[in-house]
C-alpha cells in the first residue's frame, strides 16, 4: 500500500528539528530559573530523548517513502518508544531523586510545542502570501 507520493521536504524537516532543539533550550533555560535542579535534569533528559526520536522518525519516514511500505515506520516507532522507556526507567532507578518525572514530561513536550509553533508559522506565511 502506497501511503506517500512524492518526496519529503528536507528543508521543512531541518527547520522542525532546529525548532525542537531551540524549544528544548528555552525550556531548560526557563527550568533553570524557576525550578529545582532535579526538574532541570528531567527536562534535559526528556527533551534530548524526544529530539533524538525525531531524528529517527525522519529516517523511518524516508525509508517508508523509499520502500513504499508503512511497516518499517511502525517498527521504528515501537523500537524507539521501547528504548526511550527503558532509558527513562534506567535513569529513574539508577539515580533515584536526581531526575524529576514532571521534568521529563516537560522535556518530552518540546516536540509537540515545536510542531505547533512551526504549523502556526506556516499558516501565517501562507496567509501573507495569499494577500
Question: What cell does 52 get?
Answer: 533524538
Residue 106 lies in a domain: yes
How far is residue 71's CA from residue 124's CA, in Å, rounded to a whole number?
35
Q: 53-69, pLDDT tens digit by residue?
A: 888 877 877 777 777 77
Structural domain span for residue 121:
10-126
Q: 16-72, pLDDT tens digit by residue?
A: 888 888 889 999 999 999 988 899 999 999 999 988 888 887 787 777 777 777 787
Residue 111 lies in a domain: yes
Residue 4 lies in a domain: no
Residue 1 lies in a domain: no
Q: What is the tally of structural domains in the chain?
A: 1
Please tell me the pTM assigned to this model: 0.76
Residue 20 lies in a domain: yes
* 130: DSSP letter: H
Residue 5 lies in a domain: no
Amino acid at each position: 500500500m502506497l501511503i506517500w507520493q512524492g518526496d519529503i521536504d528536507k528543508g521543512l524537516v531541518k527547520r522542525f528539528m532546529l525548532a525542537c532543539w531551540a524549544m528544548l533550550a528555552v525550556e531548560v533555560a526557563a527550568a533553570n530559573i524557576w525550578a529545582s535542579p532535579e526538574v532541570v535534569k528531567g527536562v534535559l533528559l526528556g527533551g534530548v530523548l524526544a529530539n533524538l526520536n525525531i531524528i529517527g522518525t525522519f529516517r523511518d519516514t524516508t525509508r517508508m517513502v523509499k520502500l513504499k511500505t508503512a511497516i518499517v515506520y511502525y517498527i521504528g516507532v515501537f523500537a524507539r518508544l521501547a528504548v526511550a522507556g527503558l532509558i527513562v526507567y534506567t535513569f529513574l532507578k539508577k539515580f533515584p531523586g536526581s531526575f524529576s518525572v514532571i521534568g521529563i514530561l516537560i522535556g518530552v513536550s518540546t516536540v509537540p510545542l515545536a510542531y505547533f509553533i512551526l504549523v502556526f508559522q506556516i499558516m501565517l506565511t501562507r496567509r501573507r502570501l495569499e494577500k
